[in-house]
Structure 1
Amino acid sequence: MKHSFLFFLMLICFSCSKIEPRKPINPKPSTTLYFEAMQQNKILNRQEDDKILQIIKNDSLSTYYQSSNGFWYKYINKIKEDLPTPNKGNEVTFEYNITDLRDSIIYSKQELGIKTYAIDKQDIISGLQKGIKLMKIGETITFVIPSYSAFGIAGDGKKIGINQSIKSTVTLINIK
């Protein structure tokens, strides 16, 4: 009896204690870090765009068009006929190369070969995904693509470095 009274007394005393929640082991990172990283990215993107605009300005013999998708392009061979452009689901055949902004070849057409791509159903360089949709069969366009629409902060792990803008000359061979 004495033991049961002592047990109940202890139970009452300890059960009334205030429960304190556990604190997380890894606290949430500060939003300040995200904001600072975002500001740095904006500065890098602006510098890249300025470099591209300077290259375009120096190429006074060509007319460049700015895409709403963040890249620039010029026609090498423009088809004036009213031919269709690729739509989602179409399969296109094209050949292309990749150069740096000074026109030094990174990947040649021979190296890359002829490619087949299902519009908006496969992954390729973001700038090319959108750029190919502007093309007609037989056209050749040079796209100037900033890194954020190309290979980004990772590069391609081989020949294209981090935050590297590229040029790519694409010839659209067929649309199915």
Structure 2
Amino acid sequence: MKIISILLIFVLFGACKSPEARYPVSQNSGSYIDESVERNKEMIAEEEEYIKQVMGQDENIEYLTSADGFWYYYNEKSTDSSNTQTPEFGDIVVFDYSISTIEGKPIYAEGEKPTREYAIDREKLFTGLRQGLKLMKEGETVTFLFPSHKAFGYYGDKKKIGSNVPIMTRVTLHTIKEEQPNNEINN
């Protein structure tokens, strides 16, 4: 009986013990992520260097560098001094575009993509084009050179554009319609 009492006391005191943290069987050092980051940095640097080489082949074109990490030039620039509006968040723009390789080989030729109506930053559109439209005015045509991370990235477009492909996109902005504030009815 004495042994049972002692065992019962040990069980009671053992049940009051706070739980101990369980440690993982193996620990990852994060080296996979670090390696992936380095690979991506190298890939971006190679793409940007190649794009710069392509730009250097035609000295007649004045390329501009965007703060967002791509290059562009004007095919048709607005000379109307009263035309100063560029699209802002929520504005509706109507535009046409075509996509080609950086070397100029058509992927989606002009007219192959339908005229698009797009609410700035409220709908899905690849990053570079979304940022490029904000630089344009009505009636302008601009050619953008996007590294793959500004275009369709790792996944491509799952149709004609493969993984990690830099592209050239020619865009004509037809109209900009400013976002209309919601008119609330006061009762």
The answer to whether TM tops 0.5 is: yes
Q: Map 1:63-74 onto structure 2 (within 5 A).
A: 63-74=62-73
**CA–CA distance in 2 between the matches of 1:135 and 1:148?**
21
Amino acid corresponding to residue 115 of structure 2 in structure 1: I
Q: Match for residue 76 of structure 2?
A: 77
Deviation at 1:101, TM superposition (A): 1.0
Residue 8 (structure 1) aligned to one of 5, 8, 32: 5
4+ runs of 1 displaced by more than 2 Å?
Answer: 5-8, 11-25, 27-30
Q: Match for residue 135 of structure 1?
A: 136
Q: Match for residue 98 of structure 1?
A: 99
Deviation at 1:20, TM superposition (A): 4.8
Secondary structure of the residue aligned to 1:92 is: strand
**CA–CA distance in 2 between the matches of 1:28 and 1:74?**
50
**CA–CA distance in 1 between the matches of 2:113 and 2:27?**
44
Higher helix share: 1
**CA–CA distance in 2 between the matches of 1:120 and 1:154?**
21
Q: Match for residue 23 of structure 1?
A: 23
The size of the alignment, in residue pairs, is 172
Residue segments in structure 1 that go unaligned for 5+ positions in a row: none
When the two chains are superposed, the root-mean-square deviation of aligned CA atoms in Å is 1.9
Residue segments in structure 2 that go unaligned for 5+ positions in a row: 178-187
Q: Match for residue 40 of structure 1?
A: 39
Q: Map 1:138-149 onto structure 2 (within 5 A).
A: 138-149=139-150
Deviation at 1:28, TM superposition (A): 5.5
Q: Match for residue 110 of structure 2?
A: 109
**CA–CA distance in 2 between the matches of 1:174 and 1:39?**
42
